[in-house]
Amino acid sequence: MIIVHIFVLALFVVLGIIFAMGKGANLIAGYNTSFPEEKAKYDEKKLCKGMSKLMLAYALCWLVIASSEIFKKTSLLWAGIALFTVVTIVALIYMNTGNRYKK
């Protein structure tokens, strides 16, 4: 099971790095399927930077979840799941308010 945790953790870190370089906007759901006129309204670099921060935050959450497997502590698993949920809710609210990523 630890192999799966390492794979997911590595996936979040790699995606975080890709987004931090300003690349990979085609991996962002919703953005990649929007029309070119709609895409032109958004600053792609800012959007990628925001997604980078989110992916790295998810990596930290997953590290807590993976540590539950290493230390055999169920409380770490639940703390990681709760943290993952909180990060997701905060990110959704933050990214969808204030027109942060519009040009």
Map tokens 């949920």 to a residue. 85
**Cα–Cα distance between 70 and 2 in angstroms, integer?**
8
pLDDT per residue as tens digits for the range 22-62: 999 999 999 999 999 999 999 999 999 999 999 999 999 99
Indicate the pTM of the whole model: 0.92
**Cα–Cα distance between 91 and 53 in angstroms, integer?**
10
Determine the pLDDT at residue 40. Answer: 94
